[in-house]
Structure 1
């Protein structure tokens, strides 16, 4: 047996042993979201559309204490829970769970703030009070749910117009990939510079 074959066998054995020593949780590549609420198919669909494809979405009671959770999500934060949490208190079970996470240094994201449904009817000072709670809660680590934005958007058209650039910006992408032979209109180039969108000719 030659030295290269021996080195290959040793390397394979070392990799195998290292892989076996890692706990399953450290080998996972998916992100894990824990929704603080009961399983809801519509809510799960909305979250899947807003997250990376390999994201595990679990609901309260579906995780073990040893499982790693990357993001905690509250489906809706009621006006009462919001007011309580803004003063460092929690009256209900869900608010208590949120407060416990915040006290343990975890960030929690909110899909919907109930107070926003009253934007047309609430008195101005009352509505501004709840907006101030949003700022206070953000300081505690409780913020609005952030949608994963793509690293780039691809356009297969050979003519890049201002609409193409605006569409890419609407998706939150900082890079627009286009065919190498694509023509970029002067207005599209100007808008891309204004919106800080890089045009890459790489397709």
Structure 2
């Protein structure tokens, strides 16, 4: 299989995920700006999840860009990642619908944690496939961001049983951590071309 086809399929799935999330925000029946207020939690949860999908989309681009060959392991690992990412609209909708209630924050954290595990698996399979001296292996390095993110998800899940605010802060911190571009990866991929 051509890696372009894999990337196009993944891009399509991510686009559908974003579409599903935005369709969960229903148009209010009233005509006043005050009628928008009940949508605020849904909009906040949408923004957070939109950022996450954007982060995965950006990083997925670099993963696929690093591939020289696609095999069944890469295909299945990619599908595994897309499976967990496809559950983000459900967790996002529940979280927004119920004003960030503790159980919804727990589910959101679990989905994000399992998405990060699936991303790690895909990343490792690509590195094994391409070799430990590959461009991706050099770009990833010790993957401090990935390890920190996973730890923050676990912390957020644990905290969700006690405080939805601390849990939400953990999830937001992960998103902010990944919004900061990783210059090492861009530099390594740019020097490859």
> What is the TM-score when the length of structure 2 is the normalising length?
0.24
Which is higher, the Rg of structure 1 or of structure 2? 1
Structure with a larger share of its residues in strand: 1
> What is the TM-score when the length of structure 1 is the normalising length?
0.23
Structure with a larger share of its residues in helix: 2
Return the structure number with greater relative CO, CA threshold 8 A, min gap 6.
2
